[in-house]
């Protein structure tokens, strides 16, 4: 399993948003002096790679611990916006092609906002400037773009930049917050206000998004984990952002196609014809390996195709073979990707090498199902004697 680390390391003196507390990490205890190594951490709630709660820009809005954990994990929907100029705006046009975040919805329409399955990542390329003054000149979200994200059902947005709003050199959270206090709609942080006001978490200072980009460009879904520290009442907290490409087996399988009457009829005809011809390979190819069988002459239920094949081979070893098989009174009941085929079957068989014969008049029920490869297989066969 390949893992992608999308977090910047926490270090003393690392870059922070202008005006935020500086990060200080120092030794508090040592093995030599105290018997154990312990670090002392001093940092702000938005240090390094971190998640913003709605509370960050709105008093009375949700704190991190009030949000469902499901918001912090999901499959990435990544948009490459590396062509946006440093300090330029990410517009609604840049995001027009994003898929809905929820479990339902058509392209360009909202999904189920109460059950978002995807997390939106904006790949700006700014992580390459981390630790330099250029990092302050990052792309930012126009209000219309932030609203489009909300309208598509997203409740988690992340980017490899300092903020979803523009950052002015020399500005501080306090400066812009002052603007916001005079404008309850969030004039200081318009993109924050739109996203947070609709219950979104915002993840900033991601790094390594080119790994996610390459994996998704290659056709793989990528699962994200963006869980913050558990700090009650927090407006934000550092996170260890990681991701992993999902193996094909982990992807949600497509719902099997419904069976058609013609498909079931053809599958039943093949099975009956193979039995009538005592064509062992063609006959057993019609069954799922997990198929079960109930035959009235047998004392026990047969729990698999291989169990029936063992019984069949013992019949053949004694000289048994089918001489005639006639199917009548056929009926098909369609049940989505499953169907029930029933018929009356008159059979004449040779029972031994001396030419002994036996005839039977029976009713048979066969359950067919759509296989994973799209074909049709028998998953159960029940044979009972017709009343005389």
List phi, psi (to 5°) of 335: -135, 60
Residue 373 burial by Cβ neighbours in a 10 Å radius (0-12, 13-18, 19+): exposed
Judge whether residue 184 has pLDDT over 80.
no
113 DSSP 8-state letter: T
Residue that has been written with the tokens 């979803």 in this structure: 164
Task: List pLDDT tens digits, range 120-143.
Answer: 999 999 999 999 999 999 999 999
Can you tell me the distance from the alpha carbon of 217 to that of 1, in angstroms, rounded to the nearest whole number?
Answer: 18
Contact by Cβ (8 Å): 368, 259:
yes
As a whole-number percent, the residues of the chain with pLDDT over 90 amount to 83
Strand partners, 122: 79, 159
Mean pLDDT over the full length of the chain? 90
Contact by Cβ (8 Å): 201, 67:
yes
Task: List pLDDT tens digits, range 9-58.
Answer: 999 999 999 999 999 999 999 999 999 999 999 999 999 999 999 999 99
Taking Cα atoms as reference points, which of 350, 346, 351 lies closest to residue 362? 346
Task: List pLDDT tens digits, range 245-291.
Answer: 988 645 455 678 899 999 999 999 999 999 999 999 999 999 999 99
Q: What does the block give as tokens for 59?
A: 């008093």
- What value does the mean pLDDT take over residues 211-238? 95
Contact by Cβ (8 Å): 238, 16:
no
More confident residue, 111 or 297: 297
Q: What pTM, to 2 d.p., does this model score?
A: 0.61
Lowest mean pLDDT among 174-178, 370-374, 383-387: 174-178
Taking Cα atoms as reference points, which of 172, 205, 194 lies closest to residue 54? 194
């Amino acid at each position: 399993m390949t893992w992608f680390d999308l977090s910047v390391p926490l270090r003393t003196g690392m870059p922070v948003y202008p005006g935020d507390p500086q990060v200080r990490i120092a030794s508090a205890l040592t093995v030599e002096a105290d018997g154990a190594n312990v670090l002392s951490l001093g940092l702000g709630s938005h240090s390094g790679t971190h998640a913003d709660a709605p509370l960050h820009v709105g008093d009375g809005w949700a704190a991190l611990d009030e949000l469902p954990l499901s918001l912090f994990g999901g499959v990435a929907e990544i948009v490459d916006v590396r062509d946006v100029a440093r300090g330029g705006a990410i517009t609604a046009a840049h995001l027009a092609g994003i898929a809905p975040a929820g479990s339902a919805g058509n392209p360009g329409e909202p999904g189920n906002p109460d059950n978002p399955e995807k997390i939106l990542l904006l790949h700006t390329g700014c992580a390459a400037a981390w630790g330099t003054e250029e990092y302050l000149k990052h792309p930012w979200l126009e209000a219309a773009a932030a609203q489009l994200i909300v309208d598509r059902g997203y409740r988690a947005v992340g980017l490899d930049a300092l903020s979803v709003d523009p950052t002015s050199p020399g500005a501080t959270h306090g400066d812009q917050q002052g603007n916001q206090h005079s404008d309850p709609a969030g004039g200081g942080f318009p993109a924050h206000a739109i996203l947070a006001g609709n219950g979104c978490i915002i993840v900033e200072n991601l790094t390594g998004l080119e790994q996610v980009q390459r994996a998704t460009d290659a056709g793989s879904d990528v699962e994200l984990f963006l869980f913050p520290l558990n700090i009650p009442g927090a407006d934000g907290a550092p996170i260890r952002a990681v991701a992993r490409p999902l193996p094909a087996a982990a992807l949600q399988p497509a719902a099997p196609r419904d069976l058609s009457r013609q498909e079931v009829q053809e599958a039943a005809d093949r099975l009956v014809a193979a039995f009538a011809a005592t064509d062992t390979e063609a006959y057993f190819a019609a069954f799922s390996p997990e198929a079960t069988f109930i035959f009235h002459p047998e004392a026990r239920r047969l729990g698999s195709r291989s169990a029936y094949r063992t019984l069949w081979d013992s019949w053949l070893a004694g000289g048994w073979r089918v001489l005639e098989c006639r199917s009548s009174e056929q009926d098909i009941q369609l049940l989505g990707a499953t169907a029930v085929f029933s018929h009356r079957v008159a059979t004449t068989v040779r029972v031994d090498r001396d030419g002994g014969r036996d005839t039977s008049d029976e009713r048979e029920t066969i359950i067919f199902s759509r296989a994973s490869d799209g074909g049709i297989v028998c998953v159960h066969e029940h044979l009972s004697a017709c009343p005389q």
